A and B are shown apart, each in its own frame.
Chain A
Amino acid sequence: MAAVPAALEKSGQPGGPALSAAGLRARTDWLPHVVIWAGILFTAFPLYLIFVASTLTPMEIAQAPMPLVPGSELVANYSQALFTGSTGRYLSPPVTQMLVNSLIMALVITFGKILVSVISAYAVVFFQFPLRMFFFWMIFITLMLPVEVRILPTYKVVSDLGMLNTYAGLTIPLIASATATLLFRQLFLTIPDELVEAAKIDGAGPMRFFRDVVLPLSRTNIAALFVILFIFGWNQYLWPLLMTTSQSMDTIVIGIKKMIGTGDALTDWHIVMATTMLAMLPPVVVVVLMQRAFVRGLVEPEK
């Protein structure tokens, strides 16, 4: 697109000296790249520094400023983080265990949310029954009740149910999702009536129609939701902070917070940085690999 308007611009300036028109054209060519590279630098340079720090010895990090090229401790730091954990002022469990906790939490939340919301949207769209709209609004209103505004009472409910320090407590309460239900509802409303008629004439019941028609049609939406919800689940912070007290239940995000404490000089920065890399890796890989589905899912639905 850039080339055409620039060329038109040139012809659109009658009498302008040829030199400055050419200069203008050149400017429009390099300016976007310069700005974007500045943005990329601001985005990626911090990540690069974290990677470098995760390959250095504690002494190399402590000598300010630390080296800006990777050191020799990559294998040593990551294997210490993964299999031993932080051994500085705070003794952490091995990061492998935290990764397992995070993975369980992220996957249960992701698939739980998708399953629960796809069937509830199906009920709301394809059936007529008493209180249908009442239930729909009940689900809708949960958008307005994020955990942050009901911290203490939610904690009390989970504790009364004996779900503190369990995977169930970590995941089930987060599985209800108004956003995903609304997204599926939107999609289901676009399925042509003829398709439903045809299925009914062929003798397909509601569950058969759901499995053979609705689910295959929802594939793209499910892929997009997978990315968004995996990141949502993996990155949970306040919820695990409240619901788990036992070290064995620490997710990797909570584990990092515990390792840095107040961030003073005694922090095991080389291990913390290796752990930070490990905490970022799974959600970043998911976003990068599934970028197309993700962008479509994030930007397009009108919720």
Chain B
Amino acid sequence: MQRKVIFNNRLLPYLLLAPQLAITLVFFFWPAGQAVYMSVLHQDAFGHSVRFAGLDNFAAVLGDPDYLKAVWRTTYFSVAVIVFSLVPALLLAVMADRVIRGATLYKTIIIIPYAIAPAVAGVLWLFLFNPAVGVVAYGIKAAGVAWNPTLDGAHAMLLVIIAASWKHISVAFLFFLAGLQAIPRSLLEAASIDGASEMRKFWTIIFPLLSPTTFFLLVTGVVYAFFDTFGIIHAVTAGGPAKATEVLVYKVYYDGVLSLNLGGSSAQSVILMAIVIALTAIQFRYIDRKVHY
């Protein structure tokens, strides 16, 4: 935690910390405190009347069928995004790990989506799936499906799941590949000598040894699906049609910024904050095992 040999200076360390602490206090702690404070107040949209509301805002949020629907929708969306990004990423990583020739080129192409903004990835898929001009939409319609994500909630949900997963495969791929390359070759060769098939080696050696990486990717995947996909949802569907793609983060934004329901939005913020704190705690609790098996 602390070095044995240090410099002695009274003022300097405070000066060095000052910029970071100032930004942290003004833009992180103060607003987070305000969010908690506003979540226990009741006020109208114009700020004319304010009174202490206790946990009323939380009760209202948690009792609101719309909110519960958004919770369910977020769960469904997150599970889908995690499955559709981690499974292909693992498959690709296992294959890339076996390949020698061309491995660098393959890797370079597969990591490209990491660099693309969520909102831009959203626009990309929106274009391909656009019922009027999209190439993929044309194929789907040719197959006899009345594809229209602007009217059909299930279609819209599928569209944002594809965009979010497409972007996330790259990160998961890199972590899986690093995990695979850390597995001792001697172990796999010993298994081969014993006559184990590729499938058997995967399930009895590779997959268990990868579990710290998988666990890490599951936790960070939840964070990604919960928060980082805001840009995709906002750019592609704006939560629609008829709230079919309104996930929790989008709802906080919509209720707070667009509907000015301050107490309700703040209570939702505090609930989300609790979720992030729990996820971060889990991540750091188990982070050491990510590298040392």
Contacts and interface: CB of A to CB of B under 8 A. Distances in A.
Interface string B236-270: 10100000000001001100110000100110011
Contact of A175 (B23, B227, B230): B23
A272 interface: yes
Chain B interface size range: 35 or more
Contacts of B119: 235, 237, 253, 256-257
A288 B6 CA distance: 39
B98 A2 contact: yes
Given A65-B138, A127-B9, A5 B192 contact: yes
Interface in A38-66: 39-40, 42-44, 46-47, 49-50, 53, 61-62, 64-66
A100 interface: no
A213 interface: no
A167 to B, nearest CB: 15
A173 B118 CA distance: 21
Interface stretch (B55-63, B64-72, B73-81, B103-111): B103-111
A272 B287 CA distance: 42
B287 A149 contact: no
B134 to A, nearest CB: 8
Nearest to A231: B115
A61 B137 CA distance: 13
B166 A148 contact: no
Contact of A139 (B20, B133, B290): B20
B193 A8 contact: yes
Given A151-B269, A263-B150, A302-B291, A237 B188 contact: no
A138 B2 CA distance: 17
B218 to A, nearest CB: 16
Nearest to B113: A43
B154 interface: no
B144 interface: no
Interface stretch (A71-79, A88-96, A114-122, A217-225): A114-122
A288 B110 CA distance: 11
B234 interface: yes
B53 interface: no
B83 interface: no
Contact of B27 (A128, A157, A272): A157
B178 interface: yes
Contacts of B273: 144-145, 149-150
B38 A237 contact: no
A176 B27 contact: yes
B214 interface: no
A-B pairs, 3 with minimum CB distance: A153-B34, A235-B117, A153-B31
Given A148-B230, A153-B32, A269-B133, 13 more contacts: A12-B193, A39-B91, A61-B133, A123-B17, A135-B21, A145-B273, A156-B31, A176-B24, A205-B7, A206-B9, A231-B115, A256-B119, A287-B111
